[in-house]
Structures are given as structure tokens and as C-alpha cells.
Amino acid sequence: MSSSPVEARVSPLAALAVAVLAVSTSAILVRWSGAPSLVKAFYRVLFTGVILAPWALFRYRDHFARIRGRDLLVAAVSGTALALHFASWFESLNWTSVAASVTLVQAQPAFVAVGAWALLDERVDRRVVAGIGVALLGMVVMSLPEAGGESVTAPNPLLGNALAVVGAVTAAGYVLAGRSLRQRIALIPYVTVVYGVCVLVLGGLTLVRHGTVAFVAYPATGDPYPVGEWLLFLGMAVGPGIFGHTVINWALAHVESSVVSVSLLGEPVGSTLLALVLLSEVPTLVTLAGGVVVLTGIYVTTTVRESETAPAGETDPDAT
């Protein structure tokens, strides 16, 4: 993307700090909403796509005409993986703590490394293997019965943690499916197509699970969503979506991708602190200890891969 006068005056590191704070609010906004998880995910992606659409059509209209049929098929796979990521991660927040859920879903770089080795025949450095092992050890610690505590915000930590891991795996699938496309298609056209597929998949899942009423009202009661719910849906799109992941993608063009990758490790920390202040959710010592181990493993995996193999665009999987 070409730099505008406004972009030229923005400090990339300051923008990155704002982006990390923005994505850290995602779990809080999801928790505040009382709508079904699929509905929350549907409107987050829909509103993000609607906000980006005018920009995409105005600045990148010619790019869409050059997208080949095979690329559309790959984009459909990527969008489906992203939909499953949002669906599983949002649901995980109903069952486990914010600290555990956000930390585990942030482990997607470890699964990207495994997938790249298994599916794309990429070489895996021994340090990457060590980082993956450390991250997996932390996941095991966080899945211990004591990790989620007995608070009402964590009614079934084991289920919630498992769903968060599914969210990490599907986010990795999104990244792996889109890697080749991102080398041929500009960011905004790419995410516009992927978000469109993602919305269709989430909409279909919502229809199957809750029926048409869920798009405008709580399925259990039939009461229409109040204004506050719609503001939360919009907030998920504007905050974590636009100011979060879109700004992170912009920062990738101005700072080293390894800096961006390591900065994203601040999301679990920020989300945990926000949950403490805004939700009165105190993580257990086991959750904190396991989280530190997971983040250490992710740090090792990410920094080694970014310095040796990973393309720059890979660090932003839109995963939260």
C-alpha cells in the first residue's frame, strides 16, 4: 500500500502498541455480549467487511478482476478456517477464563510450524521443535483441573481450553491456506474475499444451530437485541478488527515481522489485565504459570521462524 501523508506521520511502533491494546479488548467484548457465540462471530466479521468494502472497491477494484478461479477456491478454504477459528474461540470464552482462552488461542504459530512441516515440506529448525514442545507443555499445564479455578466465569475449563486450542489450530489453517495467495493478492482484496466466505460460513452455522431469529434476537427468549448488543458487535469489528489486525498488517510494512510477532504476545497479558479490572476475573496460579510457559514456547517458535523462514504477512492470522 502506498503511504498517505497521515501514514507518514504515524510512528509504526506507536501504532503497533495501539493495535495490541485493541486486540486485547476482543475477549472482553465477547464476554460482555449475551448473544450466541456464532452470532457474535458473524457480526464481528460482517461489520469488519462492511467497513473495509468501500476502501477495497475504491482503491483495489482492478485487483479483484485478476483473482483466478483456483485462488478463489483457496480463499474459500482460508475463509472457512477463519470462520471455524472465530466460532471455536468465541465459544471457549463461555467455558474457561479469559487468561487461559486468549493464551491458548495465541499458540497458533506453533501449529503453523507443524502444518508447514507436514503439509508444505518446510524444514523445521531444532529450536522451533523445542519451542513447540515448550508451548505444548504449557498447554498441558493450563489444562490441569486446577487451572480454570471454580469461578462462575469458568464453568468447564477443560472444554473451554480444548475449544481455544481448536481455535489456534484453525487459525493456523487460515494462515497456511492463505500464504501463497498473499504473495499474489494485495492484503485488502484478500481479506475482503476471505471475510465474505467467513460471513457465509458463520451465517450458515448460525441458521443450523439457532435459526433465523438469532440474527436479530436472543434465541432462548425471542427478545430483540438491545442497542448495547449492536454496539458490542460493532466494537468487535472496529476495535480488534480495524484498529487491531488492520493496523498490525500496516505495521508489517514498516517494522520487522519478528517485532510484530513478539509484540502480539502482549495480547494475552493485556486481555488478562483487562479481565481482572473489568470482569473481576482473577486467574489461578496454575493458569499464570502455564501461560508463561506457553508464551515462552511461542516466543522461541516465532522468533526463529521469522528470522529464517516465515514470510512477513504470516504474523497476522486475524486470530482474535
What pLDDT score was predicted for residue 306?
56
Residue 274 has a pLDDT of: 92
Question: Which is higher by pLDDT, 132 or 152?
Answer: 132
pLDDT at 226 over 90: yes
What is the average pLDDT across 19-33? Answer: 94
User: Is pLDDT above 50 for 303?
Assistant: yes
Residue pLDDT, tens place only, 93-120:
999 989 889 989 988 888 888 887 777 7
* Average pLDDT rounded to a whole number, residues 19-38: 94
The pLDDT, as a whole number, for residue 318 is: 54
pLDDT of residue 314: 42
120 burial type by CB count under 10 A (0-12 exposed, 13-18 middle, 19+ buried): exposed
What pLDDT, on a 0 to 100 scale, did the predictor assign at position 310? Answer: 43
Q: What are the helix (H) ranges across 121-246?
A: 126-142, 157-182, 187-210, 227-236
Binning pLDDT at 50, 70 and 90, where does residue 124 land? confident
Q: What is the pLDDT of residues 153-196, one digit of tens each?
A: 567 888 999 999 999 999 988 888 877 677 777 778 888 889 99
**Residue 26 above 70 pLDDT?**
yes
At 155, list the grid cell: 464453568
The helix-helix angle for 157-182 and 98-105 (nearest 10°) equals 30
Query: What is the Cα–Cα distance from 28 to 30, expressed in whole angstroms?
Result: 5
Q: Closest Cα to residue 237, out of 102, 92, 86?
A: 86
Q: Which residue has the higher pLDDT, 313 or 66?
A: 66
Share of the chain above pLDDT 90, in %: 36
How many CB atoms are closer than 10 A to CB 231? 14
Among residues 298, 233, 302, the alpha carbon closest in space to that of 102 is found at 298
Average pLDDT, whole number, for the chain?
83
224 DSSP 8-state letter: B
Q: Residue 152: pLDDT band by 50, 70, 90 thresholds?
A: very low
Contact (CB, 8 A) for 298 and 265: yes
State pTM to two decimals: 0.85
The span from the CA of 92 to the CA of 159, in Å, is: 7
Cell numbers placing 257: 515481522
- Looking at residue 244, the DSSP 8-state letter turns out to be I
pLDDT above 90 (res 33): yes
Backbone angles phi, psi at 121, to 5 degrees: 60, 35
Calpha distance 198→81 (Å, rounded): 8
Q: Is the pLDDT of residue 9 over 80?
A: no
